[in-house]
Amino acid sequence: MNWNDGRMKLPKYADVCAAAERLTGYAVRTPLLESPWLNERTGARLLIKAEPLQRTGSFKFRGAFNCISQIESAVRARGVVAYSSGNHAQAVAAVAKLHDIPATIVMPHDAPAVKVAGTRRHGADIVRYDRTGENREAIAERIAEENGATLVRPFEDFNVIAGQGTVGLEIAAECRVRRIAPDFVVVPASGGGLMAGCALAISAEMPEAALYTAEPCGYDDHARSFAAGTRQQVKDRGVASLCDALLSPEPGERTFAINHRRVRGGVTADDDAVLRAMAAAFHHLKLVIEPGGAAALAAVLNGELEITGKTVLVVASGGNVDPDVFGRALEHASDA
């Protein structure tokens, strides 16, 4: 299928570069962190892109800003609407506040309290829904239609994908400065927007790096989709996972169109591995990562890829974690 035939316009590398210009002065240029202990533990050189240090605590600020900043001034007064378990919610709320735009966010009843509080702190109105029995997209679309508001989708939006790709641009830029040539780049995936943006940037600037998505066990729809060559759905949405940010039931149509040509495959991590990775990041990098944000690090530390002697870069995508879950990680993995 020709994905640029008018039915689905896809962002390109140039769109990611344009997003980087818009984000200059607004987004944090997050560092690549490295720990001798983690290198020794893995037998590889392991670097972590620290997006918990981004505004609102995750990479989501990038895509939300790139999207909302381009809304025409005449339309802004009608507001924006988004649906999210928390990180996209906070990002849209924060960016809307920066632009003096009213925001309504559709969030599940079981969203982490820290993410709900962060969204409210930025002044957004929150509409709650039941993750197991209601359709968040339908709720958000109805609200947007009733109010004439702009719907800011979490991963299928052209400008959101381009904005997330600035993570990949920063990775490539710092690797050039530090003369690092990654063999692997591993990125957490829910709908696939972060991976799609990073894939556009990294495949253009570091084409030798093998790209992999990381997902929770039971939510391996990207891994199975890459293997099948078509989008696959989560087999059982009732499977429990701490990774609330990574529970999309299938890859996005637009994101998969980008990723399936550029991403090598997918790896997974269970909750125990995620908790251990969170503890390791805290102890050895002094970095707080939420469960979904730790999926890539967890998969690598758990041996899902053969990385001995290689250079591996993982994205830690967010750090908005409830204190009780973070405490559980430290107790669960005190020897990390």
pLDDT digits (tens, 9 = 90+) for 227-276: 999 999 998 877 889 999 999 999 999 999 999 999 999 999 999 999 99
Residue-level pLDDT at 8:
81
**CB-count exposure of residue 283 (10 Å: 0-12, 13-18, 19+):** middle
Q: How many CB atoms lie within 10 A of CB 92?
A: 33
Residue 62 has pLDDT above 90, yes or no: yes
**CA dist., res. 235 & res. 136, Å (int):** 19
**CA dist., res. 277 & res. 10, Å (int):** 34
Residue-level pLDDT at 332:
72
Residue-level pLDDT at 299:
98
pLDDT digits (tens, 9 = 90+) for 113-141: 999 999 999 999 999 999 888 999 999 99
The 3-state secondary structure of the chain, one letter per residue: CCCCCCCCCCCCHHHHHHHHHHHCCCCCCCCEEECHHHHHHHCCEEEEEEHHHCHHHECHHHHHHHHHCCCCHHHHCCCEEEECCCHHHHHHHHHHHHCCCCEEEEEECCCCHHHHHHHHHCCCEEEEECCCCCCHHHHHHHHHHHHCCEECCCCCCHHHHHHHCHHHHHHHHHHHHHCCCCCEEEEECCCCHHHHHHHHHHHHHCCCCEEEEEEECCCCHHHHHHHHCCCCCCCCCCCCCCCHHHCCCCCCHHHHHHHCCCCCEEEEECHHHHHHHHHHHHHHHCCCCCCHHHHHHHHHHCCCCCCCCCEEEEEECECCCCHHHHHHHHHHCCCC
Can 13-58+160-332 and 61-155 be said to share one CATH topology? yes
Q: Which CATH number fits domain 13-58+160-332: 3.30.70.20, 3.90.1200.10, 3.20.20.100, 3.40.50.1100?
A: 3.40.50.1100
Q: How many CB atoms lie within 10 A of CB 307?
A: 18
259 and 196 Cβ atoms separated by less than 8 Å: yes
Q: Indicate the domain borders of the chain.
A: 13-58+160-332, 61-155
- Tokens 């099948």 correspond to 228
Residue 3 has pLDDT above 50, yes or no: no
- pTM assigned to the model: 0.94
What's the whole-number average pLDDT of the chain?
Answer: 95
Residue 6 has pLDDT above 50, yes or no: no
pLDDT digits (tens, 9 = 90+) for 174-223: 999 999 999 999 999 999 999 999 999 999 999 999 999 999 999 999 99
Q: How would you list the strands of the sheet with 103-108, edge to edge?
A: 125-129, 103-108, 80-83, 150-151
Residue 90 has pLDDT above 60, yes or no: yes
Residue-level pLDDT at 142:
96
Residue 1 has pLDDT above 50, yes or no: no
Average pLDDT over residues 52-72: 98
What contacts 36, CB < 8 A, 6 or more positions away? Answer: none
Q: Domain 61-155: give its CATH architecture.
A: 3-Layer(aba) Sandwich (3.40)
pLDDT digits (tens, 9 = 90+) for 22-33: 999 999 999 999
Residue-level pLDDT at 333:
66
